[in-house]
Chain A
Amino acid sequence: AQRVTQPEKLLSVFKGAPVELKCNYSYSGSPELFWYVQYSRQRLQLLLRHISRESIKGFTADLNKGETSFHLKKPFAQEEDSAMYYCALSAAGAGRRALTFGSGTRLQVQP
């Protein structure tokens, strides 16, 4: 069975401080990992995926297969980053494509 763990329910930082949202997973096969974000009064939307290896809104995430982690990082937090962040996993390749979500971490960036 696949599982995604986000150990922090709430992460509060000051503007300009570094941010790291933790995500650990367990899956026996080859996973695809995603970060989804939900801003206040907006839909859940994709932030980034490990395959793309890109930086979105200053956020990056590296898949560490040895530690089974996919932590989300940003060097300098902005107030507009305040939102609910979900780490999600899907089996890579063909077949079942539904996502397994973590329980989410609420990021609060204080001025």
Chain B
Amino acid sequence: NAGVTQTPKFQVLKTGQSMTLQCAQDMNHNSMYWYRQDPGMGLRLIYYSASEGTTDKGEVPNGYNVSRLNKREFSLRLESAAPSQTSVYFCASSGINRVRNQPQHFGDGTRLSIL
């Protein structure tokens, strides 16, 4: 199983350009997440989707939009990229257990540079 697959792995954009980061999981998980990782700050939640058809803002949603296209796919869009969005972006997914949280499975990350 591939688990969580993110594309692209690297991308360089100019300020103002738009792009979509793709994420797909093959574990039949209901929940999916987008995080960004910045030096000295750990991972911060951008958006998450508890189930197909629902999305919610995380800690740092400004400048981003998401789409839960189906159960497998959860994309992250930057409409007008800014240098402050230079970061490593991680997608994750997890199953559901009504009693306790299930571990999150992460992709390899997308390293995004905005010039």
Residues of chain A touching chain B, judged by Cβ–Cβ distance below 8 Å, are 4, 6, 9, 32, 34, 43-46, 49, 51, 86, 90, 92-94, 96-104
Contact = CB atoms under 8 A, between A and B. Distances in A.
A104 to B, nearest CB: 5
Query: Considering residues B50, B101, B104, B107, which has the most beta carbons from chain A within 10 angstroms of its beta carbon?
Result: B101
Contacts of B45: 98-100
Contact of A44 (B48, B50, B106): B106
Given A34-B103, A44-B90, A103 B40 contact: yes
A101 B40 contact: no
Given A32-B100, A103-B42, A98 B58 contact: yes
Interface string B47-62: 0101000001011000
B54 to A, nearest CB: 12
Contacts of A104: 42
Interface residues of B, number: 30
B50 A9 contact: no
Interface in B92-109: 94, 98-109
B40 A97 contact: no
30 contacts: A9-B40, A32-B100, A32-B101, A43-B3, A43-B107, A43-B109, A44-B43, A44-B90, A44-B106, A45-B105, A46-B104, A49-B103, A90-B101, A94-B98, A96-B48, A97-B31, A97-B50, A97-B94, A97-B101, A97-B102, A98-B33, A98-B45, A98-B48, A99-B33, A99-B43, A100-B59, A101-B35, A101-B42, A101-B44, A103-B40
